[in-house]
Amino acid sequence: MPTPSRLLPVAGPPTRVRRDAAANSDRILCAAVELVQSEGVDAITMDRVAERAGVGKGTVFRAFGSRSGLLAALTDETERDFQRGMLQGAPPLGPGAAPLDRLLAFGEGRLRLHAVHGQLFREIARTPTGKYDVPARQVSMTHVRMLLRQLGVDAHLEVLSEALVGTLDADVVSQLLERGLSEAELIAGWRDLVLRLVGGCRP
Amino acid sequence: MPTPSRLLPVAGPPTRVRRDAAANSDRILCAAVELVQSEGVDAITMDRVAERAGVGKGTVFRAFGSRSGLLAALTDETERDFQRGMLQGAPPLGPGAAPLDRLLAFGEGRLRLHAVHGQLFREIARTPTGKYDVPARQVSMTHVRMLLRQLGVDAHLEVLSEALVGTLDADVVSQLLERGLSEAELIAGWRDLVLRLVGGCRP
């Protein structure tokens, strides 16, 4: 995994070399995102990304170490954006909305991300135990547990949040899409699941 | 995977050779089950199973092909027993009980199986896409969908049954146990999840 300093602004006046490296990294990440969006994650090779970014292949290796380093950096960017939305973005995903609306928006947002980044997420989580160690998943679990607590759920938080977050995991979503469900049906299913779980009695 | 005929009774009067082979298979499976129960799935090697069963290593290879063939046969046995319980066993797991009680008993039964067979299930489902192709999981999904329908749930069955069955998957259960939950807490969590999902309003 690349260190965050490669992607976030560094303190102090950057040297010319560092500025150039950062510009190259940005260009490479942009090229990679475009490739994923147009052709899927399988299109990501060091050669093709270098070609599209207009840099040498050696530059891609220097910036990201390996193909999986590049994929991790791509996912990091996406996940950081999403987390910013959760923690300080606009409602209903961000603070300010009611917990139930935030929970609904959270799942809907994850499901929409899947269309573009699902293959990437799957590749990152490929090892069976690794899936649970992915930092973004742990952030999701923490967020869902917090919202469940705010909704007055105070027992079995681990099992209930696994049931919720689990249905948003890339491998599960891919499975459901392969079985013929549309993104809209997944989002409607998520809403139904959440409302059944925490919507409670509405006589 | 071994063919069922190796484990189930064959039609017609068995020859002496076939009787011997069947007796050896039984002895080998028993030895393997004992090893898993006492030392975990890592203890399953062709050598150790042969030694414990009192047969030659060649006999184990002839009967099951490979270590993974032996593991698959072990899981098959367990799953067949459980499926018999679901389809024609005593209530509350089997027919005759109310759908809600059957659903509760189903999850509780799967969670109890995990204590003995969890490591085995995990090894069988090790490939990330493979988990969903395991026949036993497809049987579980069908069973849960049927019970949900009987409980009056008629929309989003795929998503809701994934949320339920997903929390019983070996990798999820192992994760929750590693996070410090007990089997009893998992069972209580399952009950809560099911009651929230389908228990509906009880004013």
Write out the H or E segment, with its range, that includes residue A40: none
CB contacts of B158 in chain A (<8 Å) are 176, 179, 181, 189
Contact check, Cβ <8 Å, B163/A125: no
A1-10, A53-62, A136-145: least confident range: A1-10
As a whole number of angstroms, the distance between CA B5 and CA A118 comes to 41
What does the pLDDT look like over A90-115, one tens digit per residue? Answer: 999 999 999 999 999 999 999 998 87
Q: Which residues of B touch A203 (CB under 8 A)?
A: 201, 203
Chain B residues closer than 8 Å to A185 by CB: 156, 159
Specify the amino acid at residue B134. Answer: V
Are the beta carbons of B129 and A198 separated by less than 8 Å? Answer: no
Nearest chain A alpha carbon to B132: A175
| Residue B19: Cβ within 10 Å count | 12
Give the Cβ contact number of residue A29 at 10 Å: 20
Choose the most confident range, by mean pLDDT, from A64-73, A90-99, A128-137, A191-200.
A90-99
- List the helix and strand counts (H, then E) for chain B: 10, 0
Cβ contact B190–A128 (<8 Å): no
Helices A157-166 + B170-178 axis angle, to 10: 140
Which of B125, B128, B167 lies closest to A126 in CB terms? B128
Contacts of A202 in chain B (CB under 8 A): 201
Kindly report, residue by residue over B102-127, the tens digit of the pLDDT.
999 999 999 998 877 787 787 777 75
A156–B192 CB contact, under 8 Å: yes
Contact at CB, B185 and A156, closer than 8 angstroms: yes
Give the residue numbers in B contacting A (CB under 8 Å), as ranges.
Answer: 122, 125-126, 128-129, 131-132, 155-156, 158-160, 162-164, 166-167, 171-172, 175-176, 179, 181, 185-186, 188-190, 192-193, 196-198, 201-203
CA distances from A148 to A92, A102, A161, B138, B198 (A): 15, 10, 8, 30, 18
Mean pLDDT across A41-64: 93
**Residue A9 confidence (pLDDT):** 40
pLDDT above 60 (res B145): yes
pLDDT (0 to 100) of residue B6: 41
pLDDT at site A53? 95
Nearest to B189 among A127, A160, A193 (CB): A160
Optimal mutation site among A156, A169, A177, A195, interface B, most CBs of chain B within 10 A: A156
Q: Kindly indicate the confidence band of residue B82, based on its pLDDT and cuts at 50, 70 and 90.
A: very high
Phi, psi of B134 (to 5 degrees): -60, 125
Q: Are A167 and B162 in contact (CB under 8 A)?
A: yes
Q: What is the pLDDT of residue B123?
A: 76
> How confident is the model at residue A76, as a pLDDT?
84
Domains of chain B are 4-65 (1.10.10.60), 91-199 (no CATH)
Is residue B75 within 8 A of residue B117, CB to CB? The reply is yes
What pLDDT score was predicted for residue B23? Answer: 85
pLDDT at A127 (0 to 100): 57
pLDDT tens digits for range B31-48: 998 888 788 888 889 999
Predicted local confidence at residue A10, as pLDDT: 41
CA A39, CA B179: separation in Å to the nearest integer?
39
Name the residue facing A189 among B159, B175, B185 (closest C-beta). B159
Q: Are B61 and B69 in contact (CB under 8 A)?
A: no
Helices (H) and strands (E) in chain A, counts: 10, 0
